[in-house]
Amino acid sequence: MKRKRFTEEQIIAVLREHEAGAKAGDLARKHGVSEATLYNWKAKYGGMDVSDAKRLKALEDENAKLKKLLADQMLEASALRELLSKKW
């Protein structure tokens, strides 16, 4: 089964439907996701506006990029330390 990717706007729209009183099971069937997915979305995006969700996504992307850069620097420093510690 192909995994469907929802945008932050779509997720928040679904959560607003849920807040308006729609049942989780009905929403899950309507949008083709599991109830567990709805509750995960609620835990992550509950109470957010679209702009907040976009900012969260941008910060997560930036965090991933910085972690990759840090890992690269640590690997390079480790290689240099190993090279310098060898006796000639």
8-85: CATH class: mainly alpha
Is the CB of residue 14 less than 8 Å from the CB of residue 31? yes
* DSSP label of 86: S
Summarize pLDDT for 22-48 with one digit per residue, the tens.
999 999 999 999 999 999 999 988 888
Summarize pLDDT for 5-17 with one digit per residue, the tens.
888 889 999 999 9
Summarize pLDDT for 43-83 with one digit per residue, the tens.
988 888 888 888 988 999 999 999 999 999 999 999 999 98
For the chain, domain boundaries: 8-85
How far is residue 81 from each of residues 1, 42, 74, 87, measured CA to CA in Å? 48, 46, 10, 12
Q: Please say if the pLDDT value at position 2 is more than 90.
A: no
